[in-house]
C-alpha cells in the first residue's frame, strides 16, 4: 500500500499560540485544510514564553536532542500538543525563545538558525513513526532548513525522501546578517557552495536567498505577487534568483479559517449576523461607534483599518488623505501599532467624534471592528496576499484596496454598470487616488443603498475557504512526491455552532501603548465646515537544483563529499560522515505536471468562485468588469474614461496634480527611503513622474475644475460635508461621482527595501 503524504510545516508563528500577522493566521489554518485534503501534518513552532499557559499546560514532553550550531551544542526539547486534529511540536530552548516578543532581538540570526537546524534535526525524532515526505518552510525564519538539510543531512535514510517547499509570505523580510555568522553560527563557511549561495554582498548573507537556491519548490501567497516579486520594483533584490528559478515558483492564494472568522457564530460580536439576516451588523456598528467614542450614527459610513502602522500598509497615503476623508463625512477608526502612531493620534485629536485610534494589538477589538464597520481601508504599497481584506469581506465590510499583490487577486472592484464587485480599488500609490476610491465607496453608501447591500452580499458569499488553496498545495506536494498518496477526509461541513468557549487569545505581541480616549478634548481643532458638495465619486515541480549558473542549486545539492567535520559537534559530524556523495537531487522539472497543477488550480478557482457568486473568478471578473464597462461605455466614453485617477486629475490642473502628488510622496521619500538603492529610487521616481504626466494629460483633457493648491492637501470641494452627512444622506448625487467605478490598472511606482520586525 502506498504511503500517505506526511508533511512537516515549520513556521515562526501559528495561531492561536503566537501571531503577529498573516503568517500566524496561515500556519494556524492551512495545516488543518491540508489534513482535510488528505495529508498528515505536523506543525513545528518555537516554544515562546509568550504562548498562553492554557496551551503550555497541555503540552507533553516527547523528546529532546542537541543541535549543533557552529561551535555550540544547544538543547532542544520537543513538546507536543494535539489540537483540532493537528499535532503541534514546540521546539523548546529557553535561551532562544523565552523572550517577550517573537522577533526583533540582536541575535535573531542565531535564534532562527537554531530553529531551522532544530526543525531539520527533529525529522528523525518525530512521533508515531511519522516519516516526513515534505518539509514545508515559511519565510526567512525557517529558510535555512533546506540549506542544512542538503548540506548536513542529505543521504541519511530518513532524509533521503524529504523534499522541501519554501513559501514567501513577505519578501521584504529576508533575514540578512553579517557573514561572520557563516562560520560562527551556521558552520557553513568551509562549504564554498553553501557560502556562495547564501552571500548577498561582500559582508552579508541572506537566509531567504539560501532557501530560494536550495529548495525544491517555491511558493508565494498570491499569483499576482508571484509575478511582482520577479521584478526589481517588488523583488527586494531577490528578483534575479526568482526569475532564474521561476520554473519552480508558483502563487497560491491564502484562504481564511471560515469557522474561526464567521459573523454568524463569533461570540465576540455585539450581535451575530449572516448574509441572510444582516440586522445584527447595524447593532455592531452602533456598539463600535459607542465604544470608540465616535458619533453613533447609522448614516455616516464608518471606515476602519486593522493593521501594522507601516509604510507597506500605505500609511503615507492615509496620513495624506485623512483631512479630506474626515471632513468629507466619513468616520475613521484605526487599530494597530507601528511607525505612524503619532500622526494617527493627531487626527484623532483633530476630529473628535469622527476619528478614533487604538494603538494596540487586540484580537477581540479587531473582530468588533471588522463587524461594526462599513468599509475597510487597505491601500498597501505592496501586499503578498493580505488577510484583513478577506476577513473584512467575510464580515460584510467592503474593502477599499490598492491593486497590488493579493489585494488585486481577492477584491473585485465595483462596476457600476453591471453591479459586480466585492469592494473598491485604485491603481497608483497616490493619496488622491485613494481618496477618490474612498468617496466612490461613500457615495454608494449614501446614494444607492440597494447596490451597496448587493455588494455586501457578494463580498460575504465569496469562497475564501482554505480548501482551494490546500488542494493546490497538495498538487504541488504530489508533483514532488508522486509515490505517496493523499486520502482526503470526508467533508463534514462544520456546523456553525456558536463558539461558546472563549479560546484564550494569544498574548498581545506588541506592547500595548497607553491609549488616548477616542473623543479627546476641546483643544482639538474644530472640524472645518467644508464646501458642500457631494463627493465624486506555475507550480513548482520536481526538486530542481538548477542546471545552471555558478550559483545553481544543483551544485549544492550534489554535495561534493566535502570534508566537513572539523568544527561540528558529534551529531552533525556523524550526519556528514554518513552523507552519501550524491543525492539524486536534480530531478527534472516536469512541465506537464506544472501545467496540470496550474490548470487544476485555475479550474478549482473558477468553479468555487462562480458558485459563491455569479461574479466569477477575480481575474475573469476583472476582465469581465473591464470589458463590460468598456462596452457599456461606447456611448459614454467620456464617462467611463473618468476613472478614479481621472477624477482626481479632473479636479485639478496639471500643476496641481503634479504638486499634490509630490506633496503626497514627499514624506515617503523623506522618511522611508534610506535603504532604497539609488538606482531603484531613480527608477521609482521616473515611474512616478510618468504617472504624474499621465494624470496631467488626462487632466488637461477633462473639464476644468477648481484648482486645488498643493499646499492645501486635498481639502475636498467634492466630498459630502460633515453637517450634511449628519442630517441625511447628501442630496446631490454628483454625476461625476457616478462615473467613476473602475480604477485604472496601470502598474504603480512604488518601492521599499524596509526590513521590518524580523530582519
Ligand atoms: P500582515 O502583513 O501584517 O501579515 P495580513 O493582512 O496578512 O497582514 O494579516 C494581518 C492579520 O493580523 C489579520 O488577521 C489582522 O486582523 C491581524 N492584525 C493586524 N494588526 C492587528 C491589531 N493591531 N490587533 C489585532 N489584530 C491585528
Q: DSSP string spanning 541-585?
A: -S----S-TTT-HHHHHS------GGGS-HHHHHHHHH--S----
Q: Write the pLDDT tens digit of every residue in 60-83.
A: 999 999 999 999 999 999 999 999
25 C-alpha to ligand 1 centroid (Å): 9
As a whole number of Å, the end-to-end CA separation of the chain is: 45
User: How many beta carbons lie within 10 A of that of residue 100, not counting itself?
Assistant: 12
725 C-alpha to ligand 1 centroid (Å): 30
Ligand 1 atom at shortest distance from the alpha carbon of 336: 23
756 C-alpha to ligand 1 centroid (Å): 15
Ligand 1 atom at shortest distance from the alpha carbon of 383: 2
Would you say how long the chain is, in residues?
Answer: 759
376 C-alpha to ligand 1 centroid (Å): 13
C-alpha cell at 356: 478614533
384 Cβ below 6 A of ligand 1 = no
Contacts of 623 (CB under 8 A, 6+ apart): none
pLDDT given for residue 747 in this prediction: 34
Helix (H, G, I), strand (E, B) or coil at 679: helix
Site to probe by mutation for ligand 1, drawn from 13, 220, 306, 509 as the one with most ligand atoms within 8 Å of Cβ, is 306
Question: How far is CA 290 from its chain centroid?
Answer: 30
598 C-alpha to ligand 1 centroid (Å): 29
| DSSP assignment string, 255-309 | ---TTTS-TTT-TTSSS--BTTB-HHHHHHHHHHHHHHT----TTS-EEEEEEEE
Instruction: Decide: residue 392, CB within 10 A, 0-12 exposed, 13-18 middle, 19+ buried.
Output: buried
506 Cβ below 6 A of ligand 1 = no
410 Cβ below 6 A of ligand 1 = no
307 Cβ below 6 A of ligand 1 = yes
Q: Shortest CA distance to 37 belongs to which of 444, 557, 577, 600? A: 600
> In the chain, pLDDT over 90 holds for what percent of residues?
61
Distance in angstroms (rounded) separating the CA atoms of residues 326 and 331? 6
Q: Shortest CA distance to 46 belongs to which of 87, 84, 85, 94? A: 94
362 Cβ below 6 A of ligand 1 = yes
Quick check: pTM over 0.75?
Answer: no
C-alpha cell at 230: 520577479
22 Cβ below 6 A of ligand 1 = yes
Site to probe by mutation for ligand 1, drawn from 16, 21, 365 as the one with most ligand atoms within 8 Å of Cβ, is 21
CA dihedral (466, 470, 471, 472) positive or negative: positive
pLDDT given for residue 100 in this prediction: 87
386 Cβ below 6 A of ligand 1 = yes
R_g of the chain, CA atoms, integer Å? 26
Distance in angstroms (rounded) separating the CA atoms of residues 159 and 132? 8
pLDDT given for residue 444 in this prediction: 97
Distance in angstroms (rounded) separating the CA atoms of residues 443 and 452? 10
Distance in angstroms (rounded) separating the CA atoms of residues 718 and 11? 47
DSSP conformational letter for 5: P
372 Cβ below 6 A of ligand 1 = no
Specify which residues 44 forms β-bridges with: 10, 89
C-alpha cell at 1: 500500500
Q: For the chain, list residues with pLDDT below 50.
A: 495-718, 720-759
Helix (H, G, I), strand (E, B) or coil at 393: helix
Q: Write the pLDDT tens digit of every residue in 396-422.
A: 999 999 999 999 999 999 999 999 999
Instruction: Decide: residue 182, CB within 10 A, 0-12 exposed, 13-18 middle, 19+ buried.
Output: buried
What is the spatial order of strands in the sheet that 331-338 belongs to?
A: 355-358, 331-338, 302-309, 375-378, 398-402, 424-426
388 Cβ below 6 A of ligand 1 = yes
HSE at residue 66, side-chain half, CA atoms within 13 A, is 13
C-alpha cell at 487: 486520502
Phi/psi at 735 (5° precision): -65, -35
- Output the residue whose Cα is nearest ligand 1's atom 17: 21
Q: Shortest CA distance to 9 belongs to which of 112, 34, 22, 25? A: 34
Ligand 1 atom at shortest distance from the alpha carbon of 337: 23
164 C-alpha to ligand 1 centroid (Å): 27
β-strands 60-69, 72-83 pairing: antiparallel
Distance in angstroms (rounded) separating the CA atoms of residues 387 and 149? 31
Site to probe by mutation for ligand 1, drawn from 22, 266, 513 as the one with most ligand atoms within 8 Å of Cβ, is 22
Question: Are the C-beta atoms of 119 and 152 separated by less than 8 Å?
Answer: no
28 Cβ below 6 A of ligand 1 = no
Q: Which residues are annotated as a binding site?
A: 19
388 C-alpha to ligand 1 centroid (Å): 6
711 C-alpha to ligand 1 centroid (Å): 34
Task: Answer left, alpha or beta for residue 686, where phi above 0 means left and psi between -120 and 50 means alpha.
Answer: alpha
Question: How far is CA 720 from its chain centroid?
Answer: 33
Ligand 1 atom at shortest distance from the alpha carbon of 335: 23
308 C-alpha to ligand 1 centroid (Å): 7
562 C-alpha to ligand 1 centroid (Å): 45
125 C-alpha to ligand 1 centroid (Å): 34
Greatest pairwise CA separation for the chain in angstroms: 80
464 Cβ below 6 A of ligand 1 = no
pLDDT given for residue 491 in this prediction: 63
What interhelical angle do 654-672 and 315-327 show, nearest 10? 130
Q: Shortest CA distance to 399 belongs to which of 384, 414, 385? A: 414
pLDDT given for residue 493 in this prediction: 54
Distance in angstroms (rounded) separating the CA atoms of residues 724 and 718? 13
Specify which residues 332 forms β-bridges with: 303, 355
Ligand 1 atom at shortest distance from the alpha carbon of 169: 4
| Residue 459: C-alpha distances to residues 453, 468, 552, 717 (Å) | 10, 17, 44, 31
Ligand 1 atom at shortest distance from the alpha carbon of 23: 4
Q: Cell 495529508 identifies what position? A: 39
pLDDT given for residue 465 in this prediction: 93
20 C-alpha to ligand 1 centroid (Å): 7
Helix (H, G, I), strand (E, B) or coil at 360: coil
Assess whether the previous peptide bond of 16 is cis (omega < 30° from 0).
yes
Distance in angstroms (rounded) separating the CA atoms of residues 315 and 89? 37
332 Cβ below 6 A of ligand 1 = no
306 Cβ below 6 A of ligand 1 = yes
20 Cβ below 6 A of ligand 1 = no
| Residue 123: C-alpha distances to residues 120, 137, 568 (Å) | 6, 13, 19
pLDDT given for residue 330 in this prediction: 98
Ligand 1 atom at shortest distance from the alpha carbon of 19: 12
DSSP conformational letter for 328: T
Q: Which residues are annotated as a binding site for ADP-alpha-D-glucose?
A: 19
- Output the residue whose Cα is nearest ligand 1's atom 22: 361
405 Cβ below 6 A of ligand 1 = no
66 C-alpha to ligand 1 centroid (Å): 35
25 Cβ below 6 A of ligand 1 = yes
Site to probe by mutation for ligand 1, drawn from 27, 313, 340, 366 as the one with most ligand atoms within 8 Å of Cβ, is 366
24 C-alpha to ligand 1 centroid (Å): 9
pLDDT given for residue 486 in this prediction: 83
Specify which residues 43 forms β-bridges with: 9, 88
Contacts of 616 (CB under 8 A, 6+ apart): 606, 609, 610, 624
Ligand 1 atom at shortest distance from the alpha carbon of 25: 14
Site to probe by mutation for ligand 1, drawn from 308, 373, 393 as the one with most ligand atoms within 8 Å of Cβ, is 308
Phi/psi at 139 (5° precision): 60, 180
Q: Write the pLDDT tens digit of every residue in 490-549.
A: 766 554 444 434 444 444 343 333 333 333 333 333 333 343 334 333 333 333 333 334
- The b/e string for 730-757 (b: 16+ C-beta within 10 A; e otherwise) is beeebebbbbbbbbbbeebbbbbebebb
pLDDT given for residue 490 in this prediction: 73
101 C-alpha to ligand 1 centroid (Å): 16
- Output the residue whose Cα is nearest ligand 1's atom 9: 22
Amino acid at each position: 500500500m502506498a504511503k500517505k503524504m506526511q508533511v512537516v510545516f515549520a513556521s515562526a508563528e501559528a495561531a492561536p499560540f503566537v501571531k503577529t500577522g498573516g503568517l500566524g493566521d496561515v500556519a494556524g489554518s492551512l495545516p488543518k485544510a491540508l489534513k482535510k485534503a488528505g495529508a498528515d501534518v505536523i506543525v513545528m513552532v518555537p516554544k515562546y514564553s509568550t504562548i498562553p499557559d492554557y496551551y503550555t499546560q497541555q503540552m507533553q514532553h516527547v523528546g529532546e536532542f542537541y543541535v549543533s550550531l557552529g561551535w555550540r551544542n544547544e538543547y532542544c526539547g520537543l513538546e507536543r500538543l494535539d489540537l483540532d486534529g493537528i499535532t503541534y511540536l514546540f521546539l523548546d530552548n529557553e535561551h532562544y525563545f523565552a523572550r517577550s516578543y517573537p522577533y526583533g532581538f540582536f541575535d535573531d540570526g542565531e535564534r532562527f538558525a537554531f530553529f531551522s537546524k532544530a526543525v531539520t534535526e527533529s525529522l528523525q525524532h518525530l512521533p508515531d513513526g511519522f516519516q516526513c515526505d515534505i518539509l514545508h518552510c515559511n519565510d526567512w525564519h525557517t529558510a535555512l532548513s533546506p540549506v542544512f538539510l542538503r548540506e548536513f543531512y542529505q543521504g541519511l535514510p530518513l532524509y533521503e525522501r524529504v523534499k522541501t517547499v519554501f513559501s514567501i509570505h513577505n519578501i521584504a523580510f529576508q533575514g540578512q546578517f553579517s557573514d561572520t555568522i557563516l562560520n560562527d553560527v551556521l558552520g557553513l563557511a568551509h562549504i564554498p557552495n553553501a557560502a556562495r549561495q547564501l552571500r548577498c554582498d561582500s559582508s552579508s548573507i541572506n537566509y531567504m536567498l539560501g532557501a530560494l537556491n536550495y529548495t525544491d519548490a517555491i511558493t508565494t501567497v498570491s499569483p499576482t505577487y508571484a509575478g511582482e516579486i520577479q521584478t526589481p520594483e517588488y523583488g527586494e533584490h531577490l528578483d534575479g534568483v526568482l526569475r532564474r528559478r521561476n520554473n519552480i515558483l508558483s502563487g497560491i492564494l491564502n484562504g481564511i479559517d471560515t469557522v474561526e472568522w464567521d459573523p454568524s457564530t463569533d461570540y465576540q460580536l455585539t450581535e451575530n449576523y449572516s448574509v441572510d439576516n444582516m440586522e445584527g451588523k447595524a447593532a455592531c456598528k452602533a456598539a463600535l461607534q459607542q465604544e470608540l467614542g465616535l458619533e453613533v450614527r447609522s448614516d455616516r459610513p464608518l471606515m476602519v483599518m486593522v493593521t501594522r502602522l507601516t509604510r507597506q500598509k500605505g500609511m503615507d497615503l492615509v496620513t495624506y488623505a485623512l483631512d479630506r476623508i474626515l471632513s468629507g463625512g466619513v468616520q475613521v477608526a484605526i487599530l494597530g501599532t507601528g511607525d505612524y502612531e503619532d500622526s494617527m493620534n493627531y487626527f484623532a485629536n483633530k476630529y473628535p467624534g469622527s476619528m478614533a485610534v487604538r494603538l494596540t494589538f487586540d484580537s477581540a477589538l479587531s473582530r468588533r471592528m471588522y463587524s461594526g464597520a462599513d468599509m475597510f481601508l487597505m491601500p498597501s504599497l505592496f501586499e503578498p496576499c493580505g488577510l484583513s481584506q478577506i476577513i473584512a469581506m467575510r464580515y460584510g465590510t467592503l474593502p477599499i484596496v490598492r491593486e497590488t499583490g493579493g489585494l488585486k487577486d481577492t477584491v473585485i472592484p465595483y462596476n457600476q454598470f453591471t453591479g459586480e464587485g466585492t469592494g473598491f480599488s485604485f491603481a497608483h500609490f497616490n493619496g488622491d487616488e485613494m481618496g477618490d476610491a474612498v468617496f466612490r465607496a461613500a457615495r454608494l453608501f449614501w446614494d444607492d443603498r440597494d447596490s451597496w447591500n448587493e455588494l455586501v452580499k457578494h463580498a460575504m458569499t465569496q469562497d475564501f475557504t482554505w480548501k482551494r488553496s490546500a488542494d493546490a498545495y497538495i498538487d504541488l506536494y504530489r508533483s514532488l512526491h508522486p509515490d505517496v498518496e493523499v486520502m482526503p477526509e470526508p467533508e463534514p461541513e462544520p456546523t456553525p455552532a456558536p463558539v461558546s468557549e472563549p479560546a484564550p487569545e494569544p498574548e498581545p505581541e506588541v506592547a500595548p501603548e497607553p491609549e488616548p480616549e477616542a473623543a479627546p478634548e476641546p483643544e482639538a481643532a474644530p472640524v472645518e465646515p467644508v464646501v458642500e458638495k457631494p463627493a465624486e465619486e506555475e507550480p513548482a515541480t520536481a526538486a530542481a537544483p538548477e542546471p545552471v549558473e555558478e550559483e545553481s542549486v544543483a551544485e549544492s545539492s550534489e554535495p561534493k563529499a566535502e570534508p566537513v567535520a572539523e568544527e561540528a559537534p558529534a551529531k552533525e559530524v556523524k550526519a556528514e560522515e554518513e552523507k552519501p556523495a550524491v543525492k539524486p537531487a536534480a530531478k527534472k522539472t516536469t512541465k506537464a505536471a506544472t501545467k496540470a497543477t496550474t490548470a487544476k488550480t485555475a479550474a478549482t478557482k473558477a468553479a468555487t468562485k462562480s458558485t459563491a457568486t455569479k461574479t466569477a473568478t477575480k481575474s475573469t471578473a476583472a476582465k469581465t468588469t473591464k470589458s463590460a464597462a468598456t462596452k457599456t461605455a461606447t456611448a459614454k466614453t467620456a464617462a467611463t474614461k473618468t476613472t478614479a485617477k481621472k477624477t482626481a486629475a479632473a479636479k485639478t490642473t496639471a500643476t496641481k496634480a503634479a504638486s499634490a502628488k509630490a506633496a503626497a510622496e514627499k514624506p515617503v521619500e523623506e522618511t522611508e527611503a534610506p535603504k532604497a538603492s539609488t538606482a531603484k529610487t531613480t527608477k521609482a521616481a521616473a515611474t512616478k513622474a510618468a504617472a504624474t504626466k499621465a494624470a496631467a494629460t488626462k487632466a488637461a483633457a477633462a473639464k476644468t475644475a477648481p484648482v486645488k493648491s498643493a499646499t492645501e492637501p486635498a481639502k475636498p470641494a467634492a466630498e459630502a460635508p460633515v453637517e450634511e452627512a449628519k442630517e441625511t444622506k447628501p442630496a446631490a448625487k454628483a454625476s461625476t461621482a457616478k462615473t467613476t467605478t473602475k480604477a485604472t490598472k496601470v502598474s504603480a511606482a512604488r518601492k521599499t527595501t524596509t526590513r521590518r520586525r524580523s530582519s
